Structures are given as structure tokens and as C-alpha cells.
Chain A
Amino acid sequence: MELPLYQIDAFTDRLFAGNPAGVVPLKRALPDKTLQSIALENNLPETAFFLPEGDGYRLRWFTPVVEVDLCGHATLATAFVIAKFLDPSRREMSFETRSGRLTVRRMGDVFVLDFPVRSPEPVDAAAVGRALGRKPATVWRSFAYMAVFDSWDDVAALVPDMPAVAALGTLGVIATAPGRGGIDYVSRFFAPGAGIPEDPATGSSHCALMPYWAERLGRKRLASRQISARGGDFECELAGDRVRIGGHAVCYLKGSVTVDV
């Protein structure tokens, strides 16, 4: 059986940047084992599989080894594939997922994810600074630790002790600092415990970053850059208990895979 496969660079408008995701539109549900095998073969951070359901879609995300509950960049990549190749007239898409219903709105070339806020709480965690190899100004905790540094250069220069980061016991560590030149804040995301030493562009990190930076900067709309090697760009808005995370996407590969089912 032949399935379409797209590889999309999300949260960037430049090829070879952002965060790559596999996207596979399905016509019917396939065995989990087949989906997992395709994700392993793709060897991308996540491969998304989706099926039409009602007036929206059922969406699932797989890393090379497990199915995950939530993935921002593969959701953006899926919305991009629908808008670009399958249903260009659609402005708003809703996805039923393990994390409930997620919606994506298309505004020109920008795709905006509507995700829940996950406000961080201040914590006293000296181990975070030790694992990162540099002491942050403050440490917060949400679904991951969030280490706030004083300068962009501090975050750019981090060379974390990955086994120590993995031992911290959260999904990972977000390192962040004020931006400059039209960028309000920068970040990096380390999740070696989840098999991702450094994630190139992490949509969901803004669920924790936005409540912090919106309060500190006194504005609800902020531009952000993830300063990983590949880089990622985000336009975010805090709206009550939701965070709107906007970004571009680029198509790298469009083709098909052949599997036995």
C-alpha cells in the first residue's frame, strides 16, 4: 500500500531550518505498529498521521520510539500540508488529539496554533544551573524547567551536561533570555531524557515562556527566536488561558512510502 509522505520544516521560512516533521495523510486507520515503524524509518523528531473525522481531523504524533501526547511543530506541519496540498480553501482546522481538540488558524503564510497556557512557578533548583554549566538568574518549573538568563549570549553559549539534564526529572530544560532587534526573547530547549539532546524549534515551550515574558515585558504579543543550530521563529500571543503560537513552514520533501499492511 502506498501512502503520501511530506517532510516539512516548521517554525521557519527557510529550507533546512526550523524543526523537521514527517506528515502522513491517511485514508483509514492503520495498525499502531505500522505507524511506529514508519516514524522509526523517517528518523525525524516526530511524524504526524491524520485522518478526516467529522468536520476536522484525528491527529497522532510518533517519535522514532513512542507515541507522544502533544507536539507543536508536527501540528503546524500538518496544517501546512492540508492548506498547501489538500484543502487550500481552509482557514481554520481542528484536530482531535490525545491532548483534546487543538485548532490551527491560517493567516496568510502564518499558521497559528492555539495551545493551553502552562504557567511556570518559581523554584529553588541549583541542580538546573549545574546541569546547564552556567547559573541562571532565576529558575521556574512548568512541564519543564525554565532557566532565565540575563543575556542572549549566555543562552547561546550553553553547553549542557546532557546526562545531568536528563537526571533532573522533568521533560527537559528551557533556557531563555531577553532578545534584541525586534526579537522580544530567545530560548533553547534541551530534552535528553526524551531522546532529544536539543530540540531545534519547540512550539509547546511557549506555553510556559509566554506567561512569564508577557508579564515581565508588559505586552501580550511577542516575537521570539529559538537560537538552536537550525533556528526557529515564533510570533506568540497570550490570550487568557491560551497561548497562540504562530509560525511559517517550508516543504522539503513530497513523495510516497510503500508499506505492507
Chain B
Amino acid sequence: MELPFYKIDAFTSRLFGGNPAGVVPLERWLPDKTLQAIAFENNLAETAFFLKEGDAYRLRWFTPTIEVDLCGHATLASGYVISHFLERNVRELRFDTMSGRLTVTRLDDAFVLDFPQRPARPVSAPAVGKALGSEPAAVLAAPR
């Protein structure tokens, strides 16, 4: 079986800049094991897989080793692929994900992600400064 594959540098306007993402449009869901094997083979930070569902897309993200519940750059990359190659010049895209509904709006060459807030609160975690090798002014944590 042959699947299309795009590799997109997101959050940059220069090739070889930004964050690379693999993007694989699907016509039906494949076994999780296959999606994970493809992401492992790609060896990119994330590979995104999506499938059209009604007026939205079901979107999933895989690192080389696990599925993750939220990824910005691979969502932007998916929006880019759809808008440039699949539904040319579509302006607004809806993605259903493990983090709920996410939208991407295309404004000329820019893509704007509409993501949920995850407000962070101050915490006491001296291990963070130790791990970074420099003491920060404050440490905050956001719920997952």
C-alpha cells in the first residue's frame, strides 16, 4: 500500500529552519502499530496522520516512540499540507484531536493555531533550576 508523505519545516519561512514534521494524509485508519512504525522510520520530532471526518479532520501525532496528546508544529504542518496540496486555499481547518477541537486559520502565507489555554501556576521545584544549570526567577507548572 502506498501512502502520500510530506515533510514540512514549520514555524519558519526558510527551508532547513523551523521544526520538521512528517505529514501523512490517510484514506482510512491504519493499525496504531503501523502509524508508530512509520513515525519511528521517519525519525522526526513528530509525524502527523489525519483523516477527513465530516467537515473536520481527525488528527493524531506520533513521536518516533509514542503517541502524544498535543503538538503545535505538526498541526501547523498538517494545515499547510491540506491548504497547499489537498483542499487548495482553504482558509479554516478544524482538527479533532486527543486535546479536543483545534482550529487552524490560513492568513496569506501564515497559519494561525487556535489552541486551548493551559494556565500555569507557581510551584516550588528547585530540581528544575538544578537540571537547567541556572536558577530561574520563578518556576510555574501547567496541568496536563
**A residues touching B (Cβ–Cβ < 8 Å)?**
7, 9, 15-16, 20, 37, 40-41, 43-44, 252-253, 255, 258-260
A41-B20, A255-B5 given; A16·B15 CB < 8 A: no
The SS class assigned to the B binding surface is mixed
CB-based contact B41/A40 at 8 Å:
no
**B44 with A16: CB separation less than 8 A:** no
Give CA–CA (A7, B42) in the complex, Å.
9
Chain B residues, CB < 8 A from A44: 43
Q: Report whether A253 and B5 are in contact in the complex, using a CB–CB cutoff of 8 Å.
A: yes
CA of A43 to CA of B44, assembled, Å: 7
Please tell me if the beta carbons of A16 and B40 are within 8 angstroms of each other in the complex: yes
Residue of A7, A37, A259, A260 touching B41 (CB-CB under 8 A): A7
Known: A40-B16, A260-B15. A16 touches B5 (CB 8 A): no
Cα-based distance from A255 to B23 in the complex (angstroms): 14
Interchain residue pairs with CB less than 8 A apart (12): A16-B37, A16-B40, A20-B43, A37-B15, A40-B16, A41-B7, A41-B9, A43-B20, A44-B43, A252-B41, A253-B5, A260-B15
Q: How far is the CB of A35 from chain B (nearest CB, A)?
A: 12
Interchain CB contact (< 8 A) of A37 among B16, B37, B40, B44: B16
Interfacial chain B residues near A37, Cβ < 8 Å: 15-16
Q: How far is the CA of A9 from the CA of B44 in the complex (A)?
A: 16
Residue of B9, B15, B37 with highest tally of chain A CB at under 10 A: B15
- Are A259 and B15 interface neighbours, CB within 8 A? yes
**What 16 new A-B contacts, CB under 8 Å, besides A7-B41, A43-B44, A44-B43?**
A9-B41, A16-B37, A16-B40, A16-B41, A20-B43, A41-B7, A41-B9, A41-B16, A41-B20, A43-B20, A43-B43, A252-B41, A253-B5, A255-B5, A259-B15, A260-B15
Pick the 10 closest A-B CB pairs, nearest first: A16-B37, A37-B16, A43-B43, A16-B41, A41-B16, A252-B41, A253-B5, A20-B41, A41-B20, A259-B15
